[in-house]
Chains A and B, each alone.
Chain A
Amino acid sequence: MQNPRSEKLEFLQKWMEGMGKCTSLKKNMSLLERKKAIKVSADLAMASTRTESKCWSRALIANIASRDHNSKVLTEHVIGSSQCLRLRKAFTSSSFSQLKNKRMLNRTRKIMKRRRRTVRSRVKKVVMADSIARRLVQKRTEMLKRLVPGGDLMDDDVSLIEETLDYIQSLRSQVQAMRCLLATSQLMNCS
């Protein structure tokens, strides 16, 4: 387990780098643009501390890089262009579209199953608690998959849970860092 303090410092550094790059890209940003820049840089910094070990960080970076040209430039600056290239190869449009097709296929299959089930349930009106429980759990895993970046790429529950664990930890440290920075900047501004 890496030293949490050094991790946080690294996160701060990368975040500052990202924000510096944003200002160099465009001066005099509006409130919303600033907010978006802050958030994106923070996400990138957070993901960069975990790139090698976890899937969600790679998926997050790939998502950000594919949004628009500015984001792509920013990610390359923060992450390092070589790593960025590697990630883009891993999540290239072709393989990603394959994954997307697979996702769509899974969704259509689920819809078809749901339709068949509703037809059958009219025939026998037996309500089983086990199927209710299973359905509840399934719905929740789907939701979790949507929340965690890169979640729907994972088919087995074990890795999904591990990814969630890691993601929650990173989010927490991110929120802590932001709060701290906010406190300091407020202090600075008023004094």
Chain B
Amino acid sequence: MEQTTGGFTGFNLSAAGERDQATLESIQFNEEIERIIAPAPENISSFTALLGLPPAQAKEILHSPNCDGVTAAAFPTYGEQPLCHINDQKPHILHSSSGTSTLPSNSALIERVAKFSVFAEENSPPEEPNLAPLSPGANLNRVKHEPPETDSNPKPTPVIPSNPSIEHKNERAAKRKEREKKDKESSKKSKSVVDETSGDRDKLPYVHVRARRGQATDSHSLAERARREKINARMKLLQELVPASPQISGTALVLDEIINHVQSLQRQVEFLSMKLAAVNPRIDLDLDSILATEGASRADCNFPDMVTPPVWQEVLVNGNRQQYQHQWQFDAFNQPIWGREEENRNFMTPESSLLSYDSLANSAPLHSNHLEMEL
């Protein structure tokens, strides 16, 4: 990924200005939201209260056994979860699984949990009405599950690496649900507590999702959860791609960063094409003529990675000053923003980072105003 690392150096510097703007904006957002939430009651029965609490307390509350106050509907469509939750799930489940020695594939489950744990709490009461439609199968399954857990525990393992046949999927899902429910009922006497992991998405072509303790297990919510997990995985990838956002958590802010980044890239393309048009009086400069000149050989080598700008900088500083005067002469229009950006680009010294920071910071307020107007 050399191209991206090269790009990063350039973009980290240029995005610094936007980042400041964005953090300022996000601080304003947070204040707004807190102001709105402050009069809300302090009980756990609303998501708004959670948002008002500091993250550590929220974690604690959400982890506590009586989490059924927090409804599924309280969570936004993207399933906003701070990244700290994912790390917290892992020790929680590790701890509970060490108590049960009968689960054969402990480590595999734990790995999967660590990779794909989703923290979405839903009401446990919906489980009860779910038993009703599945009752004809339930009796059969219950007979099967009468023998102790040593019998039931080997069953999860053949289920998990199952073959991708979609027509069996619903049947297996139903059986699995029943097994889990039976397990849960028997587990009230502190038997196997950990049966629940979320499915493996990378290895199998279709989704294997197991319900977490205290969650609804109808197919709709399973599918919904799978979808949300997919989205979150992709969002994490995007976060890595966009500079300066690994510490941001929360979908809206991440999307903000992404939008900023895309807009800045598009603007850069526009600006660079303008500059190219200004530099060459005729645009059909082909590769041959470039390759013919001596400096081009250096350009070709450096082309894949922009990691060696210092070679260019001294040369460019001298060249640009002369060029600059030419440009001002035959520039047909002098829009102030273009002028400012050109000025900044011409001085490609170590301060170039600061200057490009400036030019983008100037254009960032336009975007933030636009956003605020929308809201």
Residues on A facing B (Cβ under 8 Å): 4-5, 8, 12-13, 16, 19-20, 22-23, 29-32, 34-39, 42-43, 127-130, 132-134, 136-141, 143-144, 147-148, 157-158, 161-162, 164-165, 167-169, 171-191
Contact = CB atoms under 8 A, between A and B. Distances in A.
A98 to B, nearest CB: 26
Interface string B251-292: 110011011011101101110111111111011111100100
B51 A129 contact: yes
Contacts of A127: 36
B144 interface: no
A148 to B, nearest CB: 7
A120 to B, nearest CB: 17
Nearest to B34: A129
Interface stretch (B90-98, B173-181, B298-306): B298-306
Residue among B6, B40, B319 with max Cβ neighbours from chain A (10 Å)? B319
Given A184-B296, A186-B279, A168 B272 contact: no
Contacts of A12: 287
Interface stretch (B59-67, B103-111, B226-234): B226-234
Contacts, number: 211
A187 B255 CA distance: 39
A132 B231 contact: no
B316 interface: yes
Given A31-B332, A137-B78, A158-B234, A189 B323 contact: yes
26 contacts: A4-B2, A16-B285, A31-B332, A32-B332, A35-B273, A35-B274, A39-B273, A42-B273, A128-B48, A129-B33, A129-B36, A129-B48, A130-B74, A144-B262, A147-B259, A147-B266, A161-B238, A169-B241, A171-B265, A180-B303, A181-B276, A185-B290, A186-B319, A187-B316, A188-B295, A190-B319
A37 B374 CA distance: 33
Given A23-B283, A143-B374, A178-B273, 5 more contacts: A4-B2, A23-B282, A140-B256, A144-B262, A168-B265
Contact of B276 (A38, A138, A188): A38
Interface residues of B, number: 82
Contacts of A38: 273, 276-277, 283
A114 to B, nearest CB: 12
A40 B204 CA distance: 42
Contacts of B306: 176, 179-180
Contact of B315 (A5, A22, A181, A187): A187
Interface in B186-241: 227, 230-231, 234-235, 237-238, 241
Interface residue SS majority, chain B? helix
B73 interface: yes
B47 A130 contact: yes
B166 to A, nearest CB: 19
B128 interface: no
A165 B234 contact: yes
A149 B239 CA distance: 20
B101 interface: no
B320 A186 contact: yes
A129 B230 CA distance: 24
B364 to A, nearest CB: 15
Interface string B42-84: 0000111001000000000000000000000111111010000
A182 B276 contact: yes
A187 B295 contact: yes
Contacts of A158: 227, 230-231, 234
A168 B277 contact: no
A158 B269 CA distance: 26
A39 B259 contact: no
A113 B106 CA distance: 49
Nearest to B1: A4
B280 A185 contact: yes
Contacts of A179: 10, 272, 306
B77 A168 contact: no
A128 B40 CA distance: 9
A157 B227 CA distance: 9
B318 A184 contact: no
Contact of A143 (B47, B75, B259): B259
Nearest to B304: A5
A160 to B, nearest CB: 9
